[in-house]
Amino acid sequence: MSEFIIKNGRVFDPVQGIKGDKKDIAVKDGKIVDKIGSGAKVIDAKDKTVMAGALEIHAHVAGPKVNAGRWYRPEDKHFDSHKTAGITRIEGGKSIPTVFKTGYEYARMGFTFAMEAAMPPLYARHVHEEIHDTPIIDEAALPVFGNNWFILEYLKNQEIENTAAYIAWILRQTKGYGVKCVNPGGTEAWAWGLNCLTIHDPVPYFDITPAEIIKGLIAANEYLGLPHSMHLHQNDLGNPGNYKTTIDSLKIAEGVKANNKFGREQVLHSTHLQFHAYKGTNWGDFESGAKEVMDYVNKQKNLTIDTGNVTLDETTTMTADGPFEHHLHGLNHLKWFNVDVELETAAGIVPFIYDPANAVFCSQWAVGLEIPLYAKDPMRCFITTDHPNAGPFTRYPRVYSWLMSKKTRDALLNGFKKADKVIGATNLANMDREITLYELAAMTRAGPAKALGLAKDYGGLAPGMNADIAIYNINPDKFPSDGAAIEKAFAQVSWLFKDGKICVEDGKVVDMGHKKTFWVDAKVNENKQVMHDIKEKFLRYYSVNENNYPVPESYAPHQHIISVDATQA
Amino acid sequence: MPKEVTDVICPFCGTLCDDLVVSVSDDNKTILGVKNACAIGAEKFNHQRQPGRVKRPRMRQADGTYKEITYDEAIDWTAKMLVKSRKTLMYGWASTSCQAMSIGHEIAEKVGGIVDNCATVCHGSSLIAIEDVGVPSCTLGEVKNRADRVIFWGCNPAHAHPRHMSRYSIFPRGFFTVKGHKGRKIYAIDCRYTDTAKCADEFIQVQQGYDYELLNAFRTAARGEWLPDTVGGVPKEKIIEIVEDLKSARFGIIFFGMGLTHSMGRNHNIDIAINLTRDMNDFTKFAIMAMRGHWNVTGSGQVLGWQYGFPYAVDLSRRDQARHQTGETTSVDLLNRNEVEACFYIATDPGAHFPVDAMISSSRKPTVCIDPHINCTTEISDIHIPVALVGVEVGGCAYRMDNVPIETRKVVDPPEGVLTDEELLTKINHRVDELLAAGGA
Amino acid sequence: MAEKKITLNMITCRTIQQGVGMEAGKTSQKYFDACTIMHMHPEDMKKLGVWKNTNVKVTSSVGSVIVKAVETREDLVPGLAHIPMGPWANRIVPAYTYSTGEPCFKGFPVDVEIAANERIKGAVEVLQDACGLIRK
């Protein structure tokens, strides 16, 4: 059955400017079409909300540190290893779901795409093995560059063309999607136990600053014209007063124009901004810096951000910001996992309990909500939890309920043990805005798709686009005032279409679909210098041979390759 | 004209050398020689051409002899055994590919198996310790490029990971270590003066079974607190001297092995070593790494990790959840307590490497053993099913001791008609489906 | 005055010869030669009154195995003995794991007696015999 007509649904599609009109959507052979024959199967979406499938722009769902998090936390499966009747495999893991659970849960919530936020190139084969085993949702992965020896050396000499050639080579070797930059310079410093906390702290030996790394990677990304922009996890994550470093970092993008054929307008995507929007000097006088940061973001049209909402759960932090994790372990003394990766990056993992009795964690929760509530353009502000760092992705419906219902979030805010302290340190209590369904569609579908350069086929419901469609049991005219009801409706779709096939029905997985691995193949002019440098470094410094570095084709049996021609640049 | 296959990955130990060069006959059937491998790796590749290779499944007869049967017969018998048994031990996996493991897990979930890998008698202690306290570690290239203090504690790479010292840990000249071994200080801490200790700058003899106490003393010395005159046979002055030297390092690494995981204390020997490493990070950069024995035991841990959330000893016998509890779901304990109804061994030889009491228990149950060669286990099993040598006759993903994934290569064809693990498991999976649909064995 | 029986602390480990032997095949001569030996300290050999390369009977709480006593190349201390991992070593390794899954491969007491005229069983034979699978 490949023809469907979704009738009488209330459509929310920022791509076409549809704000809840009753409109039929026709599906044929995996695409959304204008018209359909009478033989099409009817899906009755009366009084239901219809949106495009959501796109996760930043989550840690596949790869070596994700898996280390899984197996070193057997307690994460406590009371959470189960099998639903039907075609699904055993699923488990509260904060770091197994790959089967990851695919199923995203699909149950109406997601059709997820971006693995950080792929260490040396471990790319592992990332792709997990992506291969994750059912239903399309996936891609961002290789990390901000502490890579090639990048540090090229950018020190401001060799943008060489940087771009190396990036293109890595994207091809690792089947990667774009340019991720985590704690620029600081993670290389961490290989000696050090860090870079401001954008001007030089990296030991390489003698380049984070500012230069950020600037250079933005330039290389635009030189290549990649579908996505440079994707940045700023220095000094999680520390009081870090909002200054954040704004300093974002300023580096001023005046830079996006260069690409995919409709992308931003040149810098700043991720999990909540962790980077703190005022104060210590945990005692800690305050929200969300307003200051968002005032800047609102002004700068060439930026996009994602929120990184704290959900007040026990979860697991994991990041390529190795020094941060060591620091966090010093604060909460929970088991610390660390791996430094030769020539490339590092990763750290520490479990974390965002206890709602703690004023600081509640203030972080408030900051995470203030950010989207301050955002003037929902097409540039996306909702994430930096899964699993600020909370598991399965809490997205709860985050939506806080954003869409002041009553719900105020009830939680006022009920905190240290409510007075939290209200005093943040702005949330005075914010009345409630995100609408249309804005939510922008923040979770149309916006991320555009920022990823996928707007032509994903994130919207226009004819010709891919039939990735989520239908929720929410009547826009009778929008629930109860937070729990909002959460429930977003947690279990009535239907999920993926590539025109029904994969989830009434929250139950009914078809595994035909997921694809997305990656970007950027062609550049032949670059003998870079090829020579690659050969050199593999011979002398890497612990694997160059010919064993690439990800073999068999690891990604279904590929969606986006070609970019950067040879004219 | 023989041809040379380069960048070949050696499927023996966790060092996972990937620079082997194998000469192969023109018809792709015979390995003529191998370069760059250690003695053990060379033996593995050279053994490929030895006569007497088992090419078809064998079934034990009532008189103790073995008779050749077809693959289909073996697959049918195996599937029936799996479907009938309520709780099957499915052990091994450490010498096959990740792709094969994945299919095995599907089978286990359907029939109610307990999937366990060789870590259970090897670095299981380390995995338990990491589950308790985490681990600060690194990739082997970081050791090569940065380490100026290297400690081998309770491990003997000269015998178990022969090229480790030349590829990563003692001799290579890296980016920040241009002097090679002359710029590194090497310690060996062991109850015997091993061949590895002979390559070290300093050897510390610890009384067998007293590693926990000595590690504890190192931690105590690092905090400048009181020590008794000797700990584990090592004088306190020596302990203090070593710790002070370690604090002056730029990048220190501790490699450890069975000396810690097998002796009294088991996982506690490891968790205290990890805590020592973590403590040292207050002074300088320090990492610790388990010397994983098999070339893909790490891979089995990874696949079990992403599919079920645990690194080994995964009990799927209830079919609706995954459970993991060392002592309860670990192979030797299951066999000791007679808690499984059938045994399915793949890519392993517990007959040679499990304590005999466990194997006596195993030999009393219907048993299938999947292995390219005759080994101790095949000779006490009901059926021996031969398969292609992974990493030699078929490729597949493997994970090195530092979790770096490398795709092994096919160098020659398997013997005529011999299935690969993936092909065999796929057929068993299919037959199990048929039997389950028909309502059981 | 040599003793009839001495008690030693036993460890079982990999050796490179055992690894090579294993790859040559569990029923190969290389494997047999590599694994059917017990490394002893010269002082212990003197205490027991055993010549190098003589067969001995090694007994633990599990049972007994016949192996050949050899002088160690990798210095042991008096009181410590080493049989390379394999079915002969595992014939006497206690299976108890202390709930860790790991048996007592290293650090268990054994009694050693001279057994100069007793035969060392083959790899498969030593296991089959223990399992009661050899028809007499």
- Among chain C residues, the shortest Cα distance to B354 is held by C90
| Dihedral sign from CA coordinates of B176, B182, B185, B189 | positive
pLDDT tens profile B341-379: 999 999 999 999 999 999 999 999 999 999 999 999 999
Q: Which residues of A touch B324 (CB under 8 A)?
A: 74, 77
- Counting Cβ atoms within 10 Å, is residue A24 exposed (0-12), middle (13-18) or buried (19+)? middle
pLDDT tens profile B194-229: 999 999 999 999 999 999 999 999 999 999 999 999
Euclidean distance between CA atoms C100 and C94, whole angstroms: 14
pLDDT > 80? residue B396: yes
Element spanning A398, H or E: helix A396-404
Q: What is the pLDDT of residue B440?
A: 56
Tell me whether chains A and C touch (3+ CB pairs under 8 A).
no
Cβ <8 Å between A191 and B285: yes
Say if CB C13 and CB B156 are below 8 A apart. yes
Helix (H, G, I), strand (E, B) or coil at B239: helix
Question: Chain B: nearest CA to A71, how far in angstroms?
Answer: 4
Helix (H, G, I), strand (E, B) or coil at B96: coil
Q: Which two tokens stand for residue C24?
A: 């040559």
CA distances from B79 to A220, A315, B71, B83, B319 (A): 56, 40, 12, 6, 17
CATH domain A54-78+86-458 topology = TIM Barrel (3.20.20)
Starting from the edge strand earliest in sequence, which strands make up the sheet with B251-256, in order? B202-205, B185-190, B149-153, B251-256, B285-290
Cβ <8 Å between B321 and A83: yes
Residue B40: φ, ψ to 5°: -75, -45
Q: What percent of chain C has pLDDT above 90?
A: 93
CA distances from B36 to A539, B10, B33, C19 (A): 15, 10, 10, 17
Q: How confident is the model at residue B12 (pLDDT cuts 50, 70, 90)?
A: very high
pLDDT > 70? residue C5: yes
Which residues partner with A28 through β-bridges? Answer: A3, A31
> Is B191 in CB contact (< 8 Å) with chain C?
yes
What are the b/e assignments for A402-436, b being 16+ CB within 10 Å?
bbbbbebbeebbeebebeebbbebbbbeebeebbb
Q: What is the pLDDT of residue C136?
A: 63
Question: Chain A: nearest CA to B132, how far in angstroms?
Answer: 7
Euclidean distance between CA atoms C19 and B14, whole angstroms: 13
Helix (H), strand (E), coil (C) string for A448-484: HHHHCCCCCCCCCCCCCCECCEEEECCCHHHCCCCHH
Q: What is the pLDDT of residue B2?
A: 82
Say if CB A106 and CB B314 are below 8 A apart. no
Alpha helices, DSSP H, located in A6-159: 64-71, 99-108, 124-133, 149-156
Whose CA is closest to A317, among A299, A303, A331, A296? A331
Chains A and B form CB pairs within 8 A to the count of: 180
Domains and CATH numbers, chain C: 5-130 (2.40.40.20)
The ipTM of this complex is: 0.97
* Most A-contacting residue of B116, B173, B271, B306 (CB-CB within 10 A), to test interface: B306
Which residue carries 């700068």 as its tokens?
A300
Q: What is the pLDDT of residue B136?
A: 98
Chains B and C form CB pairs within 8 A to the count of: 190
Q: What is the pLDDT of residue B441?
A: 46
pTM over 0.90: yes
Q: What is the pLDDT of residue B317?
A: 97
Q: Which residues of A touch B109 (CB under 8 A)?
A: 89-90
The residue extents of the domains of chain A are 54-78+86-458
Question: Chain A: nearest CA to B168, how far in angstroms?
Answer: 8
Amino acid at B179: K
Q: How confident is the model at residue C134 (pLDDT cuts 50, 70, 90)?
A: confident
Name residues 379-408 of chain A within 8 A of B (Cβ).
Answer: none
B131, B287, B399 member nearest A74 (Cβ): B131
Mean pLDDT value across residues C63-82: 92
pLDDT > 90? residue B323: yes
B138, B321, B404 member nearest A544 (Cβ): B404
> Is B389 in CB contact (< 8 Å) with chain C?
no
C82, C85, C101 member nearest B124 (Cβ): C101
CA distances from A205 to A189, A202, A208, A209, A234 (A): 9, 9, 9, 11, 21
Whose CA is closest to A129, among C11, B387, B298, B162? B298
Say if CB B93 and CB B412 are below 8 A apart. no
Whose CA is closest to A67, among A122, A129, A115? A129
Question: Chain A: nearest CA to B308, how far in angstroms?
Answer: 6
Euclidean distance between CA atoms B65 and B147, whole angstroms: 55
Q: Which two tokens stand for residue A380?
A: 């540039």
B39, B333, B374 member nearest C101 (Cβ): B333
Q: Which two tokens stand for residue A527?
A: 């670059």
Q: What is the pLDDT of residue A285?
A: 96
Whose CA is closest to A196, among A350, A323, A293, A326? A323
> Is A79 in CB contact (< 8 Å) with chain B?
no
Mean pLDDT value across residues C53-62: 98
Q: What is the pLDDT of residue C75?
A: 80
Residues (pLDDT < 50) of chain A are: none
